[in-house]
Amino acid sequence: MNKPLILVVEDDRAIRKLITTTLETQGYLYHTAETGAAAIFESVSQKPDMIILDLGLPDVDGVEIIKNVRQWSNLPIIVVSARSEDRDKIDALDAGADDYLTKPFSVEELLARLRVSLRRIHYENGKILKDSNVFVNAALKIDYAAGCVWLDGEEIHLTPIEYKLLCLLAKNVGKVLTHNFILHEIWGSYTSDVPALRVFMATLRKKIENNSSKSKYIQTHIGVGYRMVQVSEDGKIL
């Protein structure tokens, strides 16, 4: 129950097996994903405590997955890759990865680096105490690490998509995000289902704007997209 949950993203069956059995010996819980699309989905739905990511996936570049996850979470990402070029390492690390191991790697080293990351999210004594990297906008508060949202000091429940949507807007405060950009970031694939986006935006708004302070965090830019504005007391600041 309070063991850390690790998402293993690796398309090579042998290596995946190697990693998962290693994790089992340490008592860690895990999920697996063989494609980038599955990785995105699992990371949202399962809310793992950290991700072990192979860069060489069949469908999308691993760096894209890192960027996607970083839109809504700071959970540790350890890259395990066959690419040993500096450029690859730097790109992955700057995209938001926390560590980078090149294949072939020692399972002992992987475990040690895993412990480093777990330490970072304060995994101690069987209890996960995530560090708090929070976004604050007037009465709205997002704790990225914990994956929680607070409004007027009260926690509100958001579904996975609503949460990602809110994080995406929050991480780009002041910027207008086009429909296609949002769709691409949230769903990963190239859907152009704008009506669906509208529905989610409506439910999200109902949850975060129907409160005592009648703040309007989300503006719609007709024909373009949406943007979150920084609210201060009553006026807007860039």
Partner DNA sequence: AATGGCCTTAATGAAATCTTAATACAGGGG
Partner DNA sequence: CCCCTGTATTAAGATTTCATTAAGGCCATT
Residue ranges in contact with its own copies by CB under 8 A: 86, 89-90, 93-94, 96-100, 106, 108-109, 111-113, 115-116, 119-120, 122, 130, 132-133, 143, 145-148, 155, 159-160, 174-176, 221-224, 227, 236, 238
Q: Of 129 and 224, which CB lies nearer to DNA in the complex structure?
A: 224
- For 177, the token pair is 């995000």
Binding part of the chain for DNA, among 14-22, 66-74, 110-118, 197-205 by CB under 7 A, reads: 197-205
Query: Over 14-56, what HEC string results?
Result: HHHHHHHHHHHHCCCEEEEECCHHHHHHHHHHCCCCEEEEECE
Residue 147 binds to DNA (criterion: CB under 7 A): no
Residue 75 binding partner per list its own copies, DNA, none, with a CB distance cut-off of 5 to 8 Å that depends on partner kind: none
Cα–Cα distance measured from residue 57 to residue 79, given in angstroms and rounded to the nearest whole number: 12
- Does residue 127 touch DNA according to CB under 7 A? no
Own/partner contacts of 124-130, CB < 8 Å, gap of 24 or more, are 126/2, 126/3, 127/2, 128/2, 128/4, 128/49
Residue type, 218: I
- Could you give the CA distance from residue 26 to residue 37 in angstroms, rounded to a whole number? 28
Nearer to its own copies, 13 or 122 (CB): 122
Among 87, 127, 157, 214, binds DNA (CB under 7 A): 157
Pick the binder of DNA from 200, 207, 211, 230 (CB under 7 A). Answer: 200
